[in-house]
Structure 1
Amino acid sequence: MLRKAITVLICLTLSLPLLGCQGKTARFDPGMAREFFPLAPDSVWTYQVNSKSQHSTYVVTDKAVGEKYVPSLNITGEVVEEYYNMDRGGTRPIVYITKNGYWTRLSGLDYAKEDIQAPAWGRSEEGEFMPAVLMPGVNWKSQIFPFGHMPGSFDIRQLHHTFFEPSDVVVPAGHFAGCVRIETEALYEGGSYAKMDKPLRLVYEDYYAPHVGLVKTLALEGNIHGREIERVELLRFLAPHTSTVSISPHSVQGDGGIRNGH
């Protein structure tokens, strides 16, 4: 699937088009509506995940591979390779497709040599997790099948709302202006959750920056004012044919998922 105390200097002029840092953005720019989920080949996003529920902190790196036909799934989609720096993490492929104006994420996949394969139980499907054209004031519903449609497995029903962020979103990678926040109410049901006295409800806040993608995610227990149980923050972003975008408290440019946007 993030550091408010970080003080960041202004963006370099060279990085302005990439970060969308054009000063304090007070209004949403409709011209950016298609720029919140860039998947240009060789783009690399590095995130830090602070999971209070698992009592662990780890790093996730996503690299966009490009559009591919996946014979085992009989689909053509944008492939992203995701690497976890933890035990039995390794590299796993994620496939993104667009349908009816929304992005769908297919995960739980693996590599058999160089071919993408789904496990015997199927694949994890997160349909309509965000609009292909992202703007404030959009409401929609979606459903996740974390273990495919295997009998006895649980699913997650979601209700989404989008909002424009008038203030910069601050994470270790820098200040990001003109962001759109997707607020998601998630209800876990079926499977083992059907036996719980109280249904599990979480709220996710996903912040997307133009020309960059996901920069921050918060997972909250119960409602928007609930206890924080997970935080994902962008550490570095590398776009093709550019230097690494990473801003630290002591320099303008640095050295360059879960529930991740990529």
Structure 2
Amino acid sequence: MSTALFDKVIFGPIRSRRLGLSLGVNLLPLNDKLCSFDCIYCECGWARKSGGLRFHPREAVRDGLRRKLEEMAAEGTLPDVITFAGNGEPTMHPDFGAIVDDTLVLRDELCPDTKISVLSNATMIDRDEVFEALLKVDNNILKLDSAFDETVRLIDRPKGGYSVQRVVEGMKRFEGRLIVQTMFLRGTFEGRMVDNTTPRETEAWLRLIGEIAPRQVMIYTIDRDTPAPDLHKVPVEELRTIAGRVEALGIPCSVAG
């Protein structure tokens, strides 16, 4: 299936299923994906190790964001949200905290009603700078696709060591100031069944959601092309059933089918 990289540092705005009119910030390379995961469902495709520029300079991000926000203000179409996403894991940027600070200043100056969101796989939240930066944004959105290390290794393909329990403990440190985001999907990959909607998976995942106690959960399924060809959407009715079980814990849950 066809996948695509984001070819700009500041991209969009695009209409997000979960966030509204979103202006994207890509801190990662334009010609490759740089991520601590290599998810089988990633719209950016597989990481290719092409070399070249790894991170965009802080100043280039700040200046590009200012220009785009001034342009949008002149057009009368300011974004609902500025979203750190792009070609990989944004919190890997060595100046991530400083870039968040720059973005907060620009937001307050040019579009004070705009929210700031970070889409992260949560692998860097044990770094103090990253943790503190995520506490400053409006929507600290952290990924948890399964309660089981084995399933995460199959679906998200983390690089290096990964422990669900360690990530969950890191999420608890936010004391509810986070949103947990989970992709539900089915299919096959390299001859193995993929399905994180089974009773075993959902029961264990719900237990962790209860422990983390986020202010919101976002669940969704495949909407764009994926690098692994044999993956399938989960019907929205099933997602709503899972969402109802989250809400029974007293936690709001949005569904994007």
Both proteins in one fold, TM over 0.5: no
RCO (CA 8 Å, sep 6+): is it higher in 1 or 2?
A: 1
Identify, as 1 or 2, the structure richer in strand. 1
Q: State TM-score, norm by structure 2.
A: 0.31
Identify, as 1 or 2, the structure richer in helix. 2
Q: State TM-score, norm by structure 1.
A: 0.30
